[in-house]
Amino acid sequence: MKTIKLLALLFISSLTIVSCSSDDDGDDHDHEEELITTVTYELTNGTDIVTLEFQDVDGDGSALPTYTISGPLMANTIYTGEIELLNETEDPAEDITEEVEEEGDEHEFFITSSISDIVVTKTDVDEDGNPIGITSTLETGDAATGTLTIILKHEPTKPNDGTSEGAGGSTDVEVTFDIEVQ
């Protein structure tokens, strides 16, 4: 009788151990990453248009990326901004911006500057009312030189503290431009 009870206890224990095993690989951010070869940030104030463009036409290939800035930003000015993302290894070029907008709850742009007088405010939101950042306003202060960085996060915590570091998630693209405010 003791042998039957002992065997039953051993059987139940082994089932419990097997059923509690974990198949979790620990990667909570699996996503099919799109290739982003071009990032364009167009800033408009009336007739004044400033375009910042990053291009890496061969993706991870050997060609060096290019950074193009059409001109300086004007001091003490408010610009409306819009980001466009492309995969130009496809023909015709694939507009990645559309996917980011459709999956707005899974994406967020963070735009920062080393120039303390520059303030960027995201003006578009996802279905839950959290910011995305495809569209924005950028307000300049006094004349200065510095950098402007654009980061796209995939699956950030939303809402977050407004910083890419505090948002978590993975970085889909990060580009930094040398800019001038005059």
With DSSP H G I counted as helix, E B as strand and the rest as coil, what are the percentages for the chain, rounded to 5? 20, 40, 40
pLDDT-based confidence at residue 77 (cuts at 50, 70, 90): very high
The domain containing residue 144 runs over which residues? 34-181
In a domain, 94, yes or no: yes
In a domain, 2, yes or no: no
pLDDT mean over 117-146: 98
Query: Rounded mean pLDDT of the chain?
Result: 87
Domain count, the chain: 1
What would the pLDDT profile of 91-102 be if each residue is shown by its tens digit? 999 999 999 999
* pLDDT at residue 150, rounded to an integer: 99
Is the pLDDT confidence value at 174 over 70?
A: yes
In a domain, 79, yes or no: yes
In a domain, 14, yes or no: no
- Give the domain CATH number at 102: 2.60.40
Structure tokens at 113: 């500057």
pLDDT-based confidence at residue 16 (cuts at 50, 70, 90): very low
CB neighbour burial string for 100-119, b if at least 16 within 10 angstroms, e if fewer: beeebebbbbbbbbebeebe
Mean pLDDT is lowest, of 52-56, 89-93, 118-122, 144-148, for: 89-93
In a domain, 19, yes or no: no
* pLDDT at residue 168, rounded to an integer: 94
Contact present, 142 and 181 (Cβ < 8 Å)? yes
Q: Is the peptide bond before 92 cis (omega within 30 degrees of 0)?
A: yes
In a domain, 18, yes or no: no
In a domain, 1, yes or no: no
Q: Is the peptide bond before 159 cis (omega within 30 degrees of 0)?
A: yes
